[in-house]
Amino acid sequence: MSSYLYAVLLFLMIFSSINAGEKICPGYGYILLPENCTSTCSKENDTCSPDLKCCFRVEEPCGYHCIVPKDNEPKPGICPVSLSSAQYMKWYLCDGHECDVDNDCKRADKCCYNACGMPLCIAPKYFRRELT
pLDDT in tens, 18-27: 345 688 999 8
Confidence band for 126, pLDDT divided at 50, 70 and 90: confident
pTM over 0.75: no
Domain boundaries, the chain: 23-69, 75-132
d(CA 28, CA 98) in angstroms, rounded, equals 9
Stretch 36-48: mean pLDDT: 90
Query: CA 87, 88, 91, 93: dihedral to nearest 10 degrees?
Result: 140
pLDDT of residue 66 exceeding 60: yes
Q: Is the peptide bond before 61 cis (omega within 30 degrees of 0)?
A: yes
| Cα angle 106, 114, 91; round to 5 | 85
pLDDT of residue 8 exceeding 70: no
Please name which of 9, 27, 6 lies closest in space to residue 17, comparing C-alpha atoms. 9
CATH class (in words) of the domain with range 75-132: few secondary structures
pLDDT of residue 125 exceeding 50: yes
d(CA 132, CA 130) in angstroms, rounded, equals 6
pLDDT in tens, 75-117: 999 998 887 766 778 888 888 899 999 999 999 999 999 988 9
Q: Answer with the residue of higher pLDDT: 10 or 114.
A: 114
d(CA 70, CA 115) in angstroms, rounded, equals 24
